[in-house]
Structure 1
Amino acid sequence: MKKEYRIKKNDEIQSLMQKRKTVGNTFFVIYHFKNHDQEHFRYALSVPKKFGNAVQRNQMKRRIREVIKDCSIIDKVDIFIIAKLKSQELSFNDIKDNIQNLLKKAKILKDGKYEKQE
Structure 2
Amino acid sequence: MEKEKRLRSNRDFRKVYKKGKGYFNKHFTIIIRKNKLQGSRVGFSITKKHGNAVERNKLKRRLKEIVRHNFNLIKEGYDIVVIPKQNTKNLSYQELEKSATHLLKISFKR
Normalised TM-score (structure 1): 0.86
Moved over 4 A (4+): none
Q: CA deviation at 1:26?
A: 2.1
- Residue deviations 1:53-75 (CA, integer Å, cap 9, x gap): 11110010000000100111221
Q: Which has the higher contact order (CA 8 A, sep 6+)?
A: 2
Identical residues among aligned pairs (%):
34
Count of residue pairs brought into register by the alignment: 107
Within the alignment, does 1:93 sit opposite 2:68 as a pair?
Answer: no
Structure 2: 5+ residue runs without aligned partners?
Answer: none
Distance 1:39 1:88 in 2: 33
Structure 1: 5+ residue runs without aligned partners?
Answer: 109-118
Distance 1:107 1:4 in 2: 20
Distance 2:57 2:104 in 1: 22
- Residue deviations 1:21-78 (CA, integer Å, cap 9, x gap): 111112110000111x211110110111011111110010000000100111221011
Distance 1:39 1:86 in 2: 34
Aligned to 1:105: 106
Within the alignment, does 1:11 sit opposite 2:46 as a pair?
Answer: no
